[in-house]
Chains A and B, each alone.
Chain A
Amino acid sequence: DGGITQSPKYLFRKEGQNVTLSCEQNLNHDAMYWYRQDPGQGLRLIYYSQIVNDFQKGDIAEGYSVSREKKESFPLTVTSAQKNPTAFYLCASSRDRDRHTQYFGPGTRLTVL
């Protein structure tokens, strides 16, 4: 898991509530990413950020929002607009824009009741 932390490990929320997942890295990496993992579907990219104050939509951004105010932090908000939010969420980071090795955090399992 390197120097990437995600909290909490398990999260429960009621339907209709927004929830924010934390991702912090102390690797001095420029780029950070959020993925969603569902059984049998591999990992799908939600959002990514190449640098502070900049982020781009991934393949499944609808119903999610992010911010990148600090280099070491990239929080993900799952909004009430996300139709099927229950999933395992993974944060990753990579050193810079030319080195593409991504390192993953331990993940947060979100369950919406």
Chain B
Amino acid sequence: GENVEQHPSTLSVQEGDSAVIKCTYSDSASNYFPWYKQELGKGPQLIIDIRSNVGEKKDQRIAVTLNKTAKHFSLHITETQPEDSAVYFCAASKLGAGTASKLTFGTGTRLQVTL
């Protein structure tokens, strides 16, 4: 089955700096890669996702890059703000008609943005 590794487990940055979280996956057939943000005591919220036919996707201060050859993808947050502090999860899945998506999650990165 799919295995997703996520690094680092904790990340501390100063407000205004950039943050990068990296994930690798094992199944070359995986073609959908979402990122979720989870605040304390709440459910994860989707912040951005990318499909394997695209190498990069950007949404304001958040971007995701995908390297299919190396089987890794990364989340980039620029101009970090205190409200970006949370746990971030990457995930991988195989798109396929007639199947419910089965996401395999990384173990999470706790991001702390300090003033």
Contact = CB atoms under 8 A, between A and B. Distances in A.
A105 interface: yes
B95 A100 contact: yes
A26 interface: no
Majority SS at the chain B contact face: loop
Interface in A1-40: 1, 4, 6, 31, 33, 40
Contacts of B9: 40
A59 B102 CA distance: 10
Contacts, number: 69
Instruction: Tell me if A's interface is mostly helix, strand, loop or mixed.
Output: strand
Interface string B1-32: 10000100100000000000000000000001
A64 interface: no
A98 B97 contact: yes
B99 interface: yes
Chain B interface residue number, banded = 20 to 34
Interface in A58-100: 58-59, 90, 92, 94, 97-98, 100
A43 B89 CA distance: 9
A100 B93 contact: yes
Interface string B89-105: 10001010111111101
A6 B41 CA distance: 13
A76 to B, nearest CB: 14
Contact of B101 (A6, A94, A106): A94
6 contacts: A33-B100, A40-B108, A94-B101, A98-B97, A102-B34, A107-B43
Interface of A: 1, 4, 6, 31, 33, 40-45, 48-50, 56, 58-59, 90, 92, 94, 97-98, 100-107, 109
Interface of B: 1, 6, 9, 32, 34, 36, 41-46, 49, 89, 93, 95, 97-103, 105-108
